[in-house]
């Protein structure tokens, strides 16, 4: 039954996954793996309080929950806090890992590369807003200096390393193309394609 729950989760049928994990837990005492899958499924269904309780139970079982395994909970929390909206685009990347809307640039739609958060709260790749006098989403004028949002950068690099590298290669290629270095730009675009962007 655990395999069925995993299949439901992989096919993004999170409600079914929750139901299947609950059945598994009624039949036998839950293992770390079952509890963790249940917590992930709850998080994806938006049942955050319950998922946090389940993750706590995972820790009580003595399991070490690696931070990179908490991406579903983090994305659900960001959505709940309003840091991403239903209209934000989500992208599916190589390997089936979903790039959370909070980690995709609203301008280029790639993984955030050298992310900067504007005064209005919207976050973009530095290159996407470098020459814009205002936010491209809400129109609020931006400050003159663009400081890298190190927290967002580290999370994107940790959870989506290939996608972040691909986004960086694409932005570098764009800059080279503007300078007229077509050969070098094509090499960087090729790298971005190979990395899966």
Do residues 44 and 7 both lie within one domain?
yes
Structural domain of residue 140, as residue ranges? 98-194
pLDDT confidence tier of residue 72, bands split at 50, 70 and 90: low
Whole-angstrom Cα distance, residue 19 to residue 157? 33
Distance CA(54)–CA(36), nearest Å, equals 7
Mean pLDDT rounded to a whole number for the chain: 79
Tens digit of each residue's pLDDT (9 = 90 or more) over 86-124: 334 333 333 334 555 568 888 888 889 999 988 888 889
Do 72 and 103 lie in one domain? The reply is no
Q: CATH number, domain at 150?
A: 3.30.40.10
Per residue in 163-174, pLDDT (tens digit) is 899 999 999 988
Q: What angle do CA 72, 156, 54 make, to 5 degrees?
A: 20
Q: Which of 47, 79, 111 is the last residue of a domain?
A: 79
Joined together, the tokens standing for residue 193 give 């394609």
Decide: helix, strand or coil at residue 92.
strand
Residues 43 and 113 in one domain: no
Pair 167, 108: CB distance under 8 Å: yes
**Total domain count for the chain?**
2
Q: Are residues 118 and 184 in the same domain?
A: yes
């Amino acid at each position: 039954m655990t395999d069925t729950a995993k299949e439901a989760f992989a096919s993004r049928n999170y409600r079914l996954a929750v139901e299947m994990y609950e059945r598994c837990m009624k039949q036998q005492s839950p293992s770390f793996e079952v509890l963790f899958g249940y917590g992930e499924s709850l998080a994806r269904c938006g049942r955050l309080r319950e998922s946090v309780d389940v993750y706590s139970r995972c820790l009580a079982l003595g399991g070490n929950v690696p931070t990179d395994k908490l991406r579903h909970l983090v994305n659900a929390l960001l959505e709940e806090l309003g840091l991403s909206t239903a209209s934000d685009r989500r992208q599916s990347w190589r390997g089936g890992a979903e790039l959370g809307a909070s980690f995709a640039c609203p301008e280029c739609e790639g993984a955030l590369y050298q992310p900067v958060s504007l005064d209005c709260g919207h976050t973009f790749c530095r290159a996407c807003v470098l020459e814009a006098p205002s936010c491209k989403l809400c129109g609020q004028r931006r400050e003159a200096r663009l400081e890298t949002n190190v927290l967002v950068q580290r999370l994107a690099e940790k959870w989506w390393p290939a996608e972040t590298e691909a986004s960086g290669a694409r932005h570098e290629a764009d800059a080279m193309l503007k300078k007229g270095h077509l050969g070098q730009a094509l090499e960087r675009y090729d790298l971005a394609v190979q990395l899966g962007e």
